[in-house]
């Protein structure tokens, strides 16, 4: 059967190239605007190289996202009627600016916040559920334009549930092949902010899988390591799409990991303060939720630390780019302050982050520090765009499955 033109965009397997390409996007609520700004820049550079139809899903073997990053992942990879991504990267920032104020309607009353702690989550999630269903419809995990990995946490079973399109390979009735809308609502259900999400997925006639999900940030707010593990699992299984790559061939991995910013440098809390907190103190401090801040920040930093150590030990640190801003202050670091002023400030932070120097975690202090002569994040992304473009063209040249006339 003759290939359609759109099929020529599909990335060919790593076995036909030199690299395994991974894009990872952290969780962080409204702060998802920050990586959205970075992604818009990266996709624009790919379009300069390969034409205006180029999309991020055409270049990455796997795109991983947690919570708000999971929503971005789905937006970048869900197919439209022409088998192209529903959203271009440039469309994501306007989506956040338009819809975040309705997902997180602002209640100025401190009494309202305290009442919600005792009566339920801060937001009812109804608008989020509606807009996600409206944009993603009935599209399922198995239909994405490239592989995706979206972590969630099953509160009933007290264990992570990883929605990975890799797990669907060779299976016709995998229970993880759920609707992307259900997966996105589940991975975004941040404790205290949005309600936990329950849904059932029909596996086959007469068999149903039940999910009871909360935010994927409980397990992996930075999903880069989960994505690496999913790929490594396929390599260990001798999947033909990865031959002849070996499990420890980290020089063949290219990883771009995007954070959503943090207030680490602001040092919002200290031991004397936390020592006085009871349950309420851990759940509400000014406009923040310390307990959520602690486990999401710890998760993200541990992943960055682990990947940095491994890539450095195997002399492949140039293949790993982590872009994160730890200098947020005040409402900038909130996951739900959706005022026009704060959202526009987050856009500015994302744009400014492009101009900042490339940084890596200091393995002694745990703090990110600029790389000597490493250039800016913008320059690094331009370099990575060139690598991604060359890798895509190489695979298309060597793969027998490519429509060479497209």
Q: Which residues are catalytically annotated?
A: 67, 215
Rounded to whole angstroms, the Cα distance separating 10 from 388 reads: 14
| Residues with Cβ within 8 Å of residue 229, at least 6 apart in sequence | none
- CB burial of 105-123 (b: ≥16 within 10 Å; e: otherwise) equals eeeeeeeebeebeeeebbb
Candidates 201, 174, 224; CA nearest to 21 is 224
Distance from chain centroid for Cα 92:
13
Candidates 154, 164, 316; CA nearest to 230 is 164
Rounded to whole angstroms, the Cα distance separating 77 from 340 reads: 28
What is the H or E stretch that residue 272 is in?
helix 271-274
Cα 235 to Cα 14, 63, 80, 170, 277: the distances in Å are 11, 17, 31, 15, 47
Helix 180-187, helix 68-77: angle, nearest 10: 160
- How many C-beta atoms surround the C-beta of residue 200 within 10 A? 12
How many helices and strands (H and E) does the chain possess? 13, 10
Q: Say which DSSP state 353 is in.
A: H
């Amino acid at each position: 059967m003759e290939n359609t033109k759109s099929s020529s965009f599909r990335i060919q397997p790593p076995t036909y190239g030199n690299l395994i390409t991974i894009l990872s996007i952290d969780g962080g609520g409204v702060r998802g605007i920050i990586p959205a700004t970075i992604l818009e820049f990266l996709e624009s550079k790919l379009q300069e190289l390969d034409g205006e139809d180029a999309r991020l899903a055409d270049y990455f073997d796997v795109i991983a996202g947690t919570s708000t990053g999971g929503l971005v992942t789905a937006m970048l990879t869900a197919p439209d009627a022409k088998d192209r991504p529903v959203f271009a990267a440039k469309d994501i920032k306007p989506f956040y600016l338009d819809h975040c104020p309705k997902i997180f309607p602002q209640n100025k009353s401190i009494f309202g916040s305290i009442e919600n702690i005792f009566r339920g989550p801060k937001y009812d999630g109804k608008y989020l559920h509606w807009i996600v269903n409206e944009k993603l419809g009935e599209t399922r995990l198995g239909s994405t334009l490239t592989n995706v990995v979206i972590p969630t946490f099953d509160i009933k079973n007290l264990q992570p549930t990883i929605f990975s399109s890799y797990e669907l390979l060779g299976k016709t009735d995998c229970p993880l092949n759920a609707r992307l809308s259900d997966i996105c609502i589940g991975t975004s259900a941040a404790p205290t902010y949005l309600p936990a999400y329950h849904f059932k997925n029909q596996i086959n006639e007469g068999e149903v899988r039940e999910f009871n999900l909360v935010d994927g940030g409980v397990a992996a707010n930075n999903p880069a390591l989960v994505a690496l593990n999913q790929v490594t699992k396929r390599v260990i299984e001798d999947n033909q799409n990865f031959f002849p790559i070996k499990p420890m061939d980290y020089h063949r991995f290219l990883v771009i990991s995007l954070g959503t910013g943090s207030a680490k440098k602001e040092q919002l809390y200290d031991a004397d303060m936390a020592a006085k907190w009871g349950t309420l103190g851990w759940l509400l401090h000014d406009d923040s939720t310390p307990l959520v801040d602690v486990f999401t920040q710890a998760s993200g930093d541990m992943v960055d630390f682990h990947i940095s150590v491994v890539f450095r030990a195997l002399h492949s640190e140039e293949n790993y780019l982590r872009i994160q801003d730890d200098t947020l202050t005040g409402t900038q670091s909130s996951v739900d302050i959706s005022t026009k002023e704060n959202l526009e400030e987050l856009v500015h932070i994302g744009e400014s982050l492009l101009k900042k120097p490339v940084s890596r975690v200091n393995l002694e202090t745990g703090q990110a520090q600029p790389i000597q002569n490493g250039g800016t994040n913008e320059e690094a992304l331009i370099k990575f765009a060139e690598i991604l473009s060359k890798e895509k063209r190489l695979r298309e040249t060597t793969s027998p499955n490519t429509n060479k006339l497209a």
